[in-house]
Amino acid sequence: MISAGDFKNGLTLEIDGNVMQIVEFQHVKPGKGAAFVRTKMKNVINGGVVERSFRPTEKFPAARIDRKDQQYLYNDGDLWYFMDPENFEQVMLNAETIGDSMKYVKENEVVKFVSYNGNVFAIEPPLFVELEVTDTEPGFAGNTAQGASKPATVETGATVSVPLFVNIGDVIKIDTRTGEYLSRA
């Protein structure tokens, strides 16, 4: 059990039957009245954000969030297939569970399943991936006083904004959290 006085950013708790992660917290000691803890929490299952206040003595159970490596095999319409590298067991997830998290992931790459009580609610792709550019316009020298960029489609079908010097066939490094171009590989 974790008391509200011990809250920290990133802490995951079970509150009112929901799994909540603390995004921000602030201990408030008003001049008149009792102290309280003001928090901003995110529901890790559905992504909703809630602001709420607690007395510092309120206690909540810690939620155990498991992360497990899985190898991405292939996509078949609305179903995505993964394999556990330890026991070679295959798991399939629907597009609703996957969301946008797989748009930079190639087949055979390792991702992390994020689950609570055995139910997968999110997928964490690798932080950085290297993908080949399959389509982009040729870059032209000229009006480039600022760092100019152009859209490029990578081998997974995602579109990334890249500098003008990137061409078709180049392998680029992408940050999967932001979808930004980092460098040529």
Verify that 72 and 48 share a domain, yes or no. Answer: no
Closest CA to 52 of 8, 20, 30: 20
102 burial via Cβ count (<10 Å: 0-12, 13-18, 19+): buried
Verify that 31 and 46 share a domain, yes or no. Answer: yes
Closest CA to 174 of 75, 103, 110: 103
Q: Structure pTM?
A: 0.67
pLDDT digits (tens, 9 = 90+) for 77-117: 888 888 988 888 888 888 777 777 788 888 888 888 888 88
Last residue of some domain: 100, 124, 148? 124
What CATH number did the domain enclosing 149 receive?
2.40.50.140
- The residue-averaged pLDDT of 40-59 equals 86
Overall domain count for the chain: 3
Q: How confident is the model at residue 147 (pLDDT cuts 50, 70, 90)?
A: low
- By percentage, how much of the chain surpasses pLDDT 90? 2
Q: Please check the confidence at residue 143 and state whether its pLDDT lies above 60.
A: no
- Where are the extended beta strands (E) located within the chain? 2-3, 12-15, 18-28, 36-43, 49-54, 59-60, 65-76, 79-83, 90-94, 110-116, 119-124, 128-136, 149-154, 159-163, 171-175, 180-184
Q: Please check the confidence at residue 128 and state whether its pLDDT lies above 80.
A: yes
Residue-by-residue DSSP string for 77-108:
TTEEEEE-TTT--EEEEEHHHHTTTTTT--TT
Q: Please check the confidence at residue 19 and state whether its pLDDT lies above 60.
A: yes
Q: Please check the confidence at residue 141 and state whether its pLDDT lies above 80.
A: no
Q: How far is CA 156 from CA 43, 94, 123, in A?
A: 29, 18, 17
Answer whether 159's CB lies under 8 Å from 151's CB.
yes
Range of the domain at 37: 2-60
The pLDDT mean for the chain works out to 84
Q: Please check the confidence at residue 46 and state whether its pLDDT lies above 80.
A: no
Last residue of some domain: 39, 60, 81? 60
pLDDT at residue 51 in the model = 92
